[in-house]
Chain A
């Protein structure tokens, strides 16, 4: 897990410079934050501060936007982010039970990261694959028609891959 924040990488700095050449440069704030989170996994205070400086937007605005949108994380997440979809279709097909199973199995609550830094548990609001409900994503892989019984298997699979 990353503990010390590095300065923003060149790709992001270049993107910010590109945005500044366009009209309404400050409107790209959300896009910049997306790139930061994509690269570093979350938005650290240092990075938000740097974005504010570079994009010439008040820090208060940056933190206001970062805290408003659910998609942005302000804490590092585990190496494997488990996200249980709680959309309507998944709910009707028992997603709440799946979530409980992950809670018990990992011993962590929603939004927490396991002590080994391997797993974090999140919920998502409908991935739009309702016909395959209930669904769970682990990082970018989507698992469909998940059952409570499969939950320990999914976790074991990851642990196994990690050795």
Chain B
């Protein structure tokens, strides 16, 4: 009989007591982000400045805390000020000179600095924030939207304007099945309570009690454990966040990533305790299979099936690996996850190891992520100290440990067979499959390899059950997916949405659309293995199959927004340059084929391309896809082929007219002086680095095309719009 529940209870109690003793609950907490991106934006000096001010104030009821990345990258550094009596306030782009003001006015005097608040939306400080669930999962088409209903009833009951701020939230995460569709949910801050009400009269009762008389109405409180409750209670009032469904990222930006206590108090290690107590690996395998979880690294292979193969293998020595070699340029989901919540990866891997019967795990992480490595190392040490790794985990019979292995800058090591060679300390060159790793992996033993996000899903599935998880997403793609939104979009950052969300919703509702004056041209997903989705297909749902149908892939989650200033030929060339230089050279199609393709693209972008080059490019791309040894080569032509398919016209303009409509391919641009507009100010002639502009003062100038290096200096210097660019 396992004793893991007692172990977990003792752990939880200790962590809770430590927290209560710290008096954190009654204190004002200043929370500063501390992920790589936050630090790049200057978070470290902001944190030091707060520390100085706290010390100078002599107050012991103000606490400075670090947290991971919320994903709201464009507005970093983000600082949260949480006073026990107030709605949590988040400040954006906090620089040293703003620290003093925030500290004096808000932390000390209790008056939030409204001009600096995240998204600058809080011009009136409301007494309450009500986040209502507006998820389509719980609501039928004909039902009135919850936010409209609430607004209408608040007016009817004459609640003064400025009392309640209403927010339509994403899925709060977990509805009791019997209440689904019949009840609506609403979270109220600063009280952090969640109501479930069935009809208008019940809502009226809540409004009367809570918003008019200021007391919590206990009878309509829901007792469901909302998994994203903590996250929403801090960030639910920000549009960027409340349209998301945060399952794997629920702790990022919320907990101190280096604190086991924070993790445990947010349901950490509860799943492991439950599973070890039950002591039945087959149950874990069955749950994983039933959840429908598919690999988040790009391939989308059913995780449960992969684990089953490894579990069925009679070899007594087995391994599990976490692939954190996030090499796609433009993707940073795994880095944020590792930096923001390292323990969830450790718990996920421990659960996986228990299910398949592995004794040792490895996390293969890029050397380019020093902070993630540091956080993981600390987390592993703390977990060992608390018997959450090592011999007899949680007093059970199960023993398992994890080691970190560093990558060394080889993109191909993201491919599982290459990755295993690298873990073995060898050159990371892939080999032919089969045998698959679950049959013969590390040192010839069965090995399960999953990526960071896949592992992060495991504790949640086992805590809330496979059926709950399978409820989120589409028929064939379950759960959520994290995307790294970047490029020409206002709210760059990390977003987690249910599978099946339309690209349009991600780009416009969460991403805030493109910068003013720009038009969407394409969405690139899947990085160098993926493709470009044209703006016309923007209503495509994000799931494995729909993305494949429009010629791209889910990939690991990079999502780059391209606008009318981006040249599709140059973008395709950029990705091919990447894969070509990362080709390990083992097989001929990839090594030679990608190089020849690159040469053709080089010709096209410099004005030497022919029509025949386009057909050649297609044929060659197809060949490389079909004959390369590993995933790198098999997908390397994708960016080129999908661009050719969706933006053929642009390629044709490059080869026929020797012109680049987006003005990106510098060799194809021609600068000329508009003689009717030129006033002869001589600025362009003085700026030209090669001195190829001539003309006397106050007379129109001339650009000598033969010497022009197309740098564009004259074009950007001219104040009279007298230089044309074509």
Contact = CB atoms under 8 A, between A and B. Distances in A.
Interface stretch (B172-180, B418-426, B537-545, B623-631): B418-426
Contacts of A11: none
A94 to B, nearest CB: 10
Interface in B377-423: 405-411, 422-423
A1 B185 CA distance: 65
Contacts of B485: 131
A69 B408 contact: yes
Nearest to B524: A88
B570 to A, nearest CB: 9
B558 A30 contact: no
A125 B581 CA distance: 11
Contacts of B335: 128
Interface string B304-343: 0000000000000000000000111111100110000000
Interface stretch (A21-29, A74-82, A111-119): A21-29
A88 B327 CA distance: 11
Interface string A78-98: 000000001111011100000
Given A124-B368, A132-B73, A88 B426 contact: no
B425 A30 contact: yes
A47 interface: no
Contact of A89 (B326, B330, B425): B330
B486 interface: yes
A88 B368 contact: no
B560 to A, nearest CB: 5
Given A30-B408, A130-B492, A68 B428 contact: yes
B443 A24 contact: yes
Nearest to A19: B425
A124 B368 CA distance: 9
Given A27-B424, A133-B486, A142-B39, A128 B369 contact: yes
A64 B578 CA distance: 22
A131 B329 contact: no
A105 B396 CA distance: 62
Nearest to A33: B408
A135 B409 CA distance: 18
Most chain B CB neighbours (cut-off 10 Å) among A65, A124, A127, A128: A128
B229 interface: no
Contacts of B423: 27
B369 A28 contact: no
B486 A128 contact: no
Interface in B474-492: 484-488, 492
B409 A31 contact: no
A15 interface: no
B269 to A, nearest CB: 27
Interface string B53-65: 0000000000000
A132 B487 CA distance: 10
A133 B489 CA distance: 12
A144 B484 contact: no
Given A34-B408, A92-B487, A126-B331, A69 B428 contact: yes
Interface string A118-162: 000000111111111101000010111000000000000000000
Nearest to A92: B487
Contact of B410 (A33, A68, A124, A144): A68
B527 A31 contact: no
Contacts of B368: 71, 124-128
Contacts of A30: 405-406, 408, 422, 425
Interface size class of A (residues with CB under 8 A): 35 or more
B328 A71 contact: no
B427 A64 contact: yes
B7 to A, nearest CB: 28
A130 B428 CA distance: 26
B574 A132 contact: no
B560 A88 contact: yes
B488 A125 contact: no
Contacts of A128: 36-37, 326, 331-332, 335-336, 368-369
Give the residue among B370, B487, B492 with the most A Cβ atoms within 10 A: B487
A87 B486 CA distance: 11
Contacts of A130: 73, 330-332, 484, 486, 492
Given A31-B406, A129-B332, A144 B560 contact: no
Nearest to B335: A128
Interface in B493-548: 493, 524, 527
A104 to B, nearest CB: 9
B330 A87 contact: yes
A121 B497 CA distance: 39
A30 B336 CA distance: 25
Contact of B574 (A88, A124, A127, A144): A88
Contact of B329 (A24, A125, A140, A142): A125
B133 interface: no
A131 B335 CA distance: 13
A88 B406 contact: no
B562 interface: yes
Nearest to B561: A92
Contacts of B331: 126, 128, 130
Contact of A70 (B37, B329, B410, B443): B410
B492 A131 contact: yes
A88 B36 contact: no
Contacts of A28: 425
Nearest to B368: A127
B367 interface: yes
Contacts of A142: 36, 39-40
A72 interface: yes
Contacts of A61: 426
B41 interface: yes
B74 interface: yes
A48 to B, nearest CB: 14
A71 B443 CA distance: 25
A29 B408 CA distance: 11
Nearest to B558: A88
A51 to B, nearest CB: 11
Nearest to B563: A92
Contacts of B425: 24, 26-31, 65
A65 B423 CA distance: 12
A131 B330 contact: no
A135 B492 CA distance: 14
B409 A70 contact: yes
A93 B574 CA distance: 13
B256 interface: no
A135 B443 CA distance: 39
Contacts of A131: 37, 73-74, 76, 332, 484-486, 492-493
A125 B330 contact: no
Interface string B645-666: 0000000000000000000000
Contacts of B562: 92
Given A34-B367, A65-B425, A92 B566 contact: yes
A144 B76 CA distance: 11
Interface string B27-61: 00000000011011100000000000000000000
A26 B426 CA distance: 9
Contact of B40 (A69, A72, A91, A129): A129
Given A68-B428, A91-B574, A92-B488, 9 more contacts: A26-B424, A26-B425, A34-B406, A71-B368, A92-B486, A131-B76, A131-B486, A133-B486, A142-B36
12 contacts: A30-B422, A71-B408, A72-B409, A88-B527, A125-B327, A125-B578, A126-B368, A127-B368, A130-B330, A131-B484, A132-B40, A132-B76
Interface of A: 24, 26-31, 33-34, 61, 64-65, 68-72, 86-89, 91-93, 124-133, 135, 140, 142-144
Interface of B: 36-37, 39-41, 73-74, 76, 326-332, 335-336, 367-370, 405-411, 422-429, 443, 484-488, 492-493, 524, 527, 558, 560, 562, 566, 571, 574-575, 578, 584
Q: Which 5 A-B pairs have the closest CB atoms?
A: A131-B73, A88-B330, A69-B408, A71-B409, A87-B329
